[in-house]
Amino acid sequence: MKRENGFKVYEKLRIWAKTETRDTLWETRTAYESLAEHVAVLEAGARAWREVIEGRLQWTLGGMCRTGVEKVRGWMVGLGNRSVELRLLDVAIVMAVVAIIIICLLYFLR
C-alpha cells in the first residue's frame, strides 16, 4: 500500500513537473519573442535615425563646399581688382603661412 501511495505521489510530481516545465518554457519563449520584436523595432528606428542624420550631414557638407568655393571665387576676383604690390604682398603672406605650417609639421612629426 505504501508503494502504491508512493507511486501516486511520484505520478503527481511527474505530471506537475511536466506542466511546470511547459509553462516555464512557454514563458521563456514568449519573453524571448517579445524581446526579439522589441530589438527589431529599435533597430529599425536606429537605422531610420542614422539615415536621417547622414542625409543632413551630406546636405551640410555640400553647403559648406559650395560656400567655400564661393569664398575662393570672391577672393580670386578681389585679387584681380588689386594693384600689383598688394597681390605680391598677398602671395608673400600665403607663402609665409605655408612655410610655418610645414615647419610645425616637421617639428611635431619627428
> pLDDT tens digits for 49-63?
778 778 777 778 788
Instruction: Give the pLDDT of residue 103.
Output: 95
The band of 36, judged by pLDDT with boundaries at 50, 70 and 90, is confident
pTM over 0.75? The answer is no
| Residue boundaries of the structural domains of the chain | 2-82
* Residue range 86-101: mean pLDDT, rounded: 92
* Residue range 51-77: mean pLDDT, rounded: 81
CA dist list (Å): 19 to 10, 27, 29: 14, 12, 15
pLDDT surpassing 80 at residue 69? yes
φ, ψ for residue 17 (rounded to 5)?
Answer: -65, -40
